[in-house]
Amino acid sequence: METNRRKPLLLALAGLGLLVGVRMIMAARNRYDLHGRVAIVTGGARGLGLVIARHLAANGVKLVICARSQDQLDSAQRELSAMGAEVVAWVCDVTDKSQVVRLVDKTVAHYGKVDIVVNNAGTIQVGPMNTMTEVEYEDAMNIHFWAPLYTTLASLPYFRAQRQGRIVNISSIGGKRAVPHMLPYCASKFALVGLSEGLSNELRKDNILVFTIAPGLMRTGSPRNITVKGNHEKEYAWFKTAAALPLISEEPAHVAEKIIDALETNTTHPSISGLERFGSFMKEAAPERMDFILSRINRLLPKDKENGHLSKKGYEAESALSANKIARGADVDARLNNEGYR
């Protein structure tokens, strides 16, 4: 009698085990093998782009990195070559469509193909809304929206001929939930998310997958290269400190590992961090509460000051405020990730 009672349970467990086994086999069969692939990484000479390039190279990917600075490209190429990567580095302003077309064509001419495009190049403007002009919005849209569109359009003929391709768009938590004092950045990242998700829906039928990556602040050392407006020293200090704070910022290597895993498993919307998951949950579950919290945070951020409409680079706004113990960690990260700190 007892045996008869256990029989349905055993059959159910066996069926569940079989289902799990089949799924594991199918996942392994569909796994995207990175070894021998060719990837273009825009903004690949420093910061997150360089970290992504390191991880792609470690997985056997042949690289093309591009940026606007020849010196930073040379430094990044030396580092990647020293770790055994096959890499070429070309100067390219990705906001110039003609330069992007040449970049993709040269990649195929050099390697014979292109498999992956990582749209990583970016800019960050920090300051109150009233200090931002159309120029800041145009700059942000050019590099966060138009540049990824240019690389996508230039790569699609090759992807379609190969019957496969991967496009990785580096957006941000700020592209899903706008935060104060970063309006041009957030608005342009929202545009990138819309572009990325729309492309994903239309290109999947051609075996071209589009990945939307939304990390938060990262400990890359990038604050020194942001644009600051308003009370320059205070704005730079809060951003630099936040970008080095372990509780609310991410290790770039962790983000790069997530991207590698997403590519290999064909996961087009990977979860990058707990902060991202919390922000998405609050946006859906309690948007008014989230608005209230962010408006309160806005009250705590620096107010404008005389000449606040002028732009400064982060390193030009260094002061005693940005030399605190936590923020100094960003200088260490800058050295590690070729952000121009010496």
3-state SS, one letter per residue, for the chain? CHHHHHHHHHHHHHHHHHHHHHHHHHHHHCCCCCCCCEEEEECCCCHHHHHHHHHHHHCCCEEEEEECCHHHHHHHHHHHHHCCCCEEEEECCCCCHHHHHHHHHHHHHHHCCCCEEEECCCCCEECCHHHCCHHHHHHHHHHHHHHHHHHHHHHHHHHHHHCCEEEEEECCHHHCCCCCCCHHHHHHHHHHHHHHHHHHHHHHHHCEEEEEECCCEECCCHHHHCEECCCHHHHHHHHHHHCCCCCCEECHHHHHHHHHHHHHHCCCCCCCCHHHHHHHHHHHHCHHHHHHHHHHHHHHCCCCCCCCCCCEEHHHHCCHHHHCCCCHHHHHHHHHCCCCCC
User: Which of 111, 150, 185, 236 is labelled catalytic?
Assistant: 185
Cα–Cα distances in Å, from 73 out to 14, 43, 45, 53, 88? 55, 9, 5, 12, 9
Q: Mean pLDDT throughout 322-330?
A: 93
User: Which tokens in the block code for residue 176?
Assistant: 């899903």
pLDDT of residue 110: 98
Beta partners for residue 91, in sequence order: 67
pLDDT band at 233 (very low <50, low <70, confident <90, very high): very high
217-218/116-119 β-pairing: unpaired
Q: In order of start, what are the domains of the chain with their CATH numbers?
A: 32-336 (3.40.50.720)
Global pTM reads: 0.90
Is 341 designated active site? Answer: no
pLDDT band at 300 (very low <50, low <70, confident <90, very high): very high
Task: Kindly report which listed range (149-158, 210-219, 280-289) carries the lowest average pLDDT score.
Answer: 280-289
Is pLDDT larger for residue 16 or for residue 331?
Answer: 331
- pLDDT of 283 > 90? The answer is no
List, in order, residues 6 or more apart from 223 with CB less than 8 Å away.
236, 239, 240, 243, 314, 330
What's the distance, CA 81 to chain centroid? Answer: 23
- In angstroms, rounded to a whole number, what is the distance separating the alpha carbons of residues 147 and 99? 10
38-42/62-67 β-pairing: parallel
Q: What is the pLDDT of residues 251-271, one digit of tens each?
A: 999 999 999 999 999 999 999
Task: Kindly report which listed range (14-23, 249-258, 307-316) carries the lowest average pLDDT score.
Answer: 14-23
